Amino acid sequence: MHKKTINQLAQGLRSGDFTSVELTQHFLQRIRQYPELNAYITITEDSALQAAGAADQRLATGDTGLLTGIPIAHKDIFCTLGVKTSCGSKILDNFIAPYNATVVEKFKLAGAVTLGKVNMDEFAMGSSNETSFYGPVRNPWDTQTVPGGSSGGSAAAVAAGLAVAATGTDTGGSIRQPAAFCGITGLKPTYGRVSRYGMIAYASSLDQGGPMTRSAEDAAILLQTMAGFDPKDSTSADVAVPDYLASLDQPLAGLKIGLPKEFFAEGLDNGIASVLQTALAEYQKLGAELVDISMPNLNVAIPTYYVIACAESSANLSRYDGVRFGHRCENPADLTDLYTRSRGEGFGKEVKRRILMGTYALSAGYYDAYYLKAQKVRRLISDDFQKALAQVDVIMSPVAPTTAFGIGAKMDDPIAMYLADIYTIAINLAGLPAMSIPAGFSGGMPVGLQLIGKHFAEDRLLNIAHQYQQVTDWHQQTPKL
Ligand code: GLN
């Protein structure tokens, strides 16, 4: 049951092959069977079985959608009413969310079953899931390697069949890079497409929630539920949501694929480069045309991102003060001691590093030199994409320079870790939608292909991904567990 697509499971539920309670029990049993993956922070067994029972009743009356009774997992960054929402941090280890994030609420209304909350890098800061207070997640393809991050729990859970699908968030690559490392499909929507209400903020101008699934078709089903204007989020876009399933079957003849030369230059692993060549040849067989393009400002995307992301996070994380929510130190001597020790004890090393960098970049005297400069460069990077996307329908590139690396391999070298997002980060700076789809293996580990689209053209990306998945079966490969 854990290898079926959402459509197949929805069929099974309707034809009475199994109930949602049975399906949910199957996934709960698998979660218990693989504790060493450390994919889940919280398993909501009781409420999952209750929701499954309610879904079975709805199914009996026929009043249902495709997600009714389907067990999914939420990244522990989405507030979930009455359930611990930790964001992977000690500082929120005791935080029980008093409301549902819009995304969580929408899945609930659609009748999906929440199995629990999945592991992540602390405050979504990381590329390997190793900064989590709850310990690293292991990649189900090779448990000595990382699953990628920050949505590593989501990716490992979907790849290992511990959830049908999961939500993730992507500030600089956190949906796409773990999807690539774990051999699943991940979609980062256009900034503003999916509500950020109740999604714990890291860098507000970059964060975006999206689906992590086993196929493009499943991603279309999840996005259909997640997308849409939300009056509770002032950055949510009031743009009509198309029928994502309706366009999946469109043929690709005449599709123009842009290949930025900067993305295929040195630094890219040979095994990955050859997998991507094969994938591009497959697209040519489907009728696509390859066009060489250039994006001259991409080389400064990483420093630009780290100035902006750290600046925004230092402001966002000032709310964890030991007063209103989260961890509070014992016996504070005075207010300053309360703030200092609560934050000192509650935040991990990487989060502290970013707060320090962000506070520095925003301080008087440095604001113009760093923050303002970064905002200007951000515009140049965004313009590069606009120009490229005026010539082509989609841009294709690697997702990450290597396959999943060993646990511990980059933990002492933040710059090496930051470079893991070299191909994904610029897309967030430009606010564009992008996907990672499984395209093959290198050294036995999954490789992802990145598709980058025009603003709000998620339907086109899903179509392009789905057509590839009709003629290849990389997305159907599963790890031996
Ligand atoms: N790895 C990047 C960072 O640490 C991106 C993380 C993300 O997308 N949330 O900031």
Which residue ranges make up each domain of the chain? 6-254+461-476
Distance in angstroms (rounded) separating the CA atoms of residues 118 and 83: 12
- In DSSP terms, 399 is beta-bridged to none
SS3 423: coil
State which ligand 1 atom lies nearest to the alpha carbon of 202: 9
Task: Indicate the top mutation candidate among 89, 121, 304 to test ligand 1's pocket, ranked by most ligand atoms within 8 A of CB.
Answer: 121
SS3 387: helix
Residue 459 host element (H or E): helix 458-471
Q: What number does CATH give the domain 6-254+461-476?
A: 3.90.1300.10
The pairing of beta strand 185-188 with beta strand 434-442: antiparallel
Burial letters 180-205, b for 16+ CB under 10 A, else e: bbbbbbbbbbbbbbbbbbbbbbbbeb
**pTM higher than 0.95:** yes
Q: Report the pLDDT value the prediction gives residue 62, as an integer from 0 to 100.
A: 87
> How high is the mean pLDDT in each 10-residue block of the chain (481 residues)?
96 97 98 98 98 97 92 98 98 98 98 98 98 98 98 98 98 98 98 98 98 98 98 98 98 98 90 97 98 95 97 97 95 97 98 97 92 97 97 98 96 89 96 98 98 98 98 97 84
CA atoms within 13 A on the CB side of 124: 30
State which ligand 1 atom lies nearest to the alpha carbon of 421: 1
The verdict on whether 174 is a catalytic residue reads yes
Distance in angstroms (rounded) separating the CA atoms of residues 20 and 214: 19
Token duo for residue 443? 């050294």
Task: Indicate the top mutation candidate among 176, 308, 425 to test ligand 1's pocket, ranked by most ligand atoms within 8 A of CB.
Answer: 425
Instruction: Spot the catalytic one: 132, 154, 174, 436.
Output: 174
Query: Who lines ligand 1 at CB under 6 A?
Result: 124-127, 150, 170-174, 202, 309, 421
Residue from 150, 203, 414 nearest 310 by CA: 203
Distance 400 CA to ligand 1 centre (A): 13
Q: Report the pLDDT value the prediction gives residue 265, as an integer from 0 to 100.
A: 86
Distance in angstroms (rounded) separating the CA atoms of residues 246 and 423: 30
| DSSP code at position 455 | T
Amino acid at residue number 359: T
Distance in angstroms (rounded) separating the CA atoms of residues 129 and 146: 7
What backbone phi and psi angles, to 5 degrees, belong to 225?
A: -80, -35
Distance 357 CA to ligand 1 centre (A): 15
Q: Sign (positive/negative) of CA torsion 227, 228, 232, 235?
A: positive
Is residue 475 a contact partner of residue 218, using CB atoms and an 8 Å limit?
Answer: no
Distance in angstroms (rounded) separating the CA atoms of residues 72 and 112: 7
Task: Indicate the top mutation candidate among 150, 308, 310 to test ligand 1's pocket, ranked by most ligand atoms within 8 A of CB.
Answer: 150
| DSSP code at position 445 | E
SS3 142: strand
The verdict on whether 47 is a catalytic residue reads no
Q: Sign (positive/negative) of CA torsion 121, 126, 127, 130?
A: negative
Note the residue count of the chain.
Answer: 481
DSSP string covering 214-266: SSHHHHHHHHHHHBS--TT-TT----PPP-TTTTTT---TT-EEEEEGGGGST
SS3 133: coil
